[in-house]
Amino acid sequence: MTPANSVPPDTVDTAALGLIPAPRTLTPAAAGPYPLGPETPLSAAPGTEGVARWLRTTLGAVTGLPLAEGAGDRGIVLTLDEELAPEAYRLAVDTDAVRLTGGTAAGVFRGAQTLRQLLGPDAFRRAPLAADRTWEVPPVVVEDEPRFGWRGMMLDVSRHFLPKDDVLRYLDLLAAHKLNVFHFHLTDDQGWRIEIKRYPRLTEVGSWRSRTKYGHRASELWDETPYGGFYTQDDIREIVAYAAERHIRVVPEIDIPGHSQATITAYPELGNTDVVDTTTLSVWDNWGVSPNVLAPTENTLRFFEGVLEEVLELFPAETSPFVHMGGDECPKDQWKESPLAQARIAELGVKDEDGLQSWFIRHFDAWLTERGRRLIGWDEILEGGLAEGAAVSSWRGYGGGIAAAEAGHDVVMCPEQQVYLDHRQDGGPDEPMPIGYVRSLEDAYRFEPVPPGLSEEAARHILGTQANVWTEVMQNRARVDYQVFPRLAAFAEVAWSALPAPAERDFAAFDARMTAHYARLDALGVDYRPPAGPYPRQQRPGVLGFPREGAPPVV
């Protein structure tokens, strides 16, 4: 049997191979291809053992081959070369071996993703399709390294909860696309999702809501089923360890001082009790921005210090150097009405309510810094003055990120107009619960994280980029898949590959490579949006969304 992905040694059919993200260089090898068989060894130099374990688990399962431990210069050979950049790799195929070399184990792991792609879409299944199937690696040399060090996806599990196994699956999908940051949005008005042993009511009360709005908040439809869920501390440890094995950093988000109604419902004393009767609040069942925010008290600070002490233990520094403290969409109305808040403004000597929010963020910036971590927050943390060591997730557009970078702060670019994957993918009437501007696969491919006109020094503060997945209208894994894919594949190439300016990018060539990539997504069971539009089962007729017309503004 001739493998479907076999490539003659004098040519490289990039469309047939369909490598995504596109590597820096892909050239024909002098010899090869290399067949995999029962006797193929897998040799791992010191420091690459984890990658070897992953290869045996994934390729071993789908090929049925043992990939037994080797010690020579044949078979699949994993090595390190400190001359390479940390996530850079070189994959070279010849008649005797597939040689995979990385600057670090992370680089070797990124190369292992390319090796899997080279074996064809069936390599993304979990078991062999046929006992007599033969496998070979086409004769190529791939030299590659990422453009950005931060290539991420944010997943909101507060609005709609994804069970632990679905989170682990998404870590595998990030790894398959060479993404390396998982921003874990764990708390919000609609639910608290992480067990904190010191404060058990956060999950006993704060993780459950009585019902859920179905569709956009203007919809008249409700799902009356009580809804909720949370991750135990052991679940979190498992998720973090699973991510670390795939060289993915996890950024936990604990949102303060806004987006806190679930927190206040569990512990009413944390709210503005001199303005509202917080004992009457419930975990929010609607979407949007709740007016109920944290009170600016020392008790609130001590409470969240207690939360963070457990968070830091669950998310160790080597996997989670950054902790996201939210800081976005914090209505100031209750603070304006609160005598306690107004007295706090006077006591602290800050100008106004924005200064009060800055006080929250500055406190936890210093607290985290003392413990060897860095605070990152949404771009509203710029208001009232940014804490010295804080980094910014620029979501309302490029503007906040530009201001932060020019002021010497590190920035992750994630403008909602470009890379919010809850926004609709097409303007047709069959899109399920259509939200926001049309952001097609091509739009995602032409996204540019570094805005024009940024000074060279400021551009060095752009850590990278991430796509954000807000789940108000995504009730389950299938809906998340539909919104995320295939656009995450285009985003991954933007984050990894050295692409030309947006208008000059060869989308037709990318789209041709997507033919092979759709087959990989099929093998992985990803319920992506088909190029021709949604299947009937993916549509949600009659459920109100919030589409916005025209091209999104660049702000």
- Positions annotated as catalytic residues are 188, 259, 329
Count of Cβ atoms closer than 10 Å to residue 493 Cβ: 22
Phi-psi label, residue 225: left if phi above 0, alpha if psi -120 to 50, beta otherwise: beta
In a 13 Å sphere around the CA of 414, the CA atoms on its Cβ side amount to 27
Q: Give 333-373 as a DSSP string.
A: HHHHH-HHHHHHHHHHT-SSHHHHHHHHHHHHHHHHHHTT-
Residue with tokens 């042993």: 197
- The DSSP symbol for 427 reads -
What end-to-end distance do the CA atoms of the chain give, in Å?
55
188 pairs with which residues across the strands? 191
Q: Which residue has the tokens 């060897």?
A: 372
CA dist 456 → 382, 451, 459, 462 (Å): 21, 11, 5, 10
Rounded CA gap, 338 and 167, in Å? 40
CA 87, 138, 124: angle at the middle one, nearest 5?
65
Cα separation, 146 vs 151, whole angstroms: 9
Pick from 235, 240, 256, 250: which is nearest to 193 by CA?
235
Phi, psi for 488 (deg, rounded to 5): -65, -30
Alpha-carbon torsion, ordered 258, 200, 245, 16, to 10 deg: -50
- Region for 215 from its dihedrals, namely left if φ exceeds 0, alpha if ψ lies in -120 to 50, beta otherwise: left
Please enumerate, as own/partner, the contacts of 111-114 that have beta carbons within 8 Å and a separation of 24 or more: 111/142, 111/144, 112/51, 112/54, 112/55, 113/175, 113/176, 113/177, 113/178, 114/19, 114/23, 114/89, 114/142, 114/144
Four-residue CA torsion sign, 171, 177, 181, 183: negative
| Helix/strand/coil percent split, the chain, to 5 | 35, 20, 45
Quote the CA–CA distance of 295 and 525 in Å, as a whole number. Answer: 45
β 208-209/391-394 pair status: unpaired
User: What is the DSSP track for 261-292?
Assistant: HHHHHHSGGGB-TTTS-GGG-----S-S--S-
Residue 391's φ and ψ, nearest 5 degrees, are -105, 160
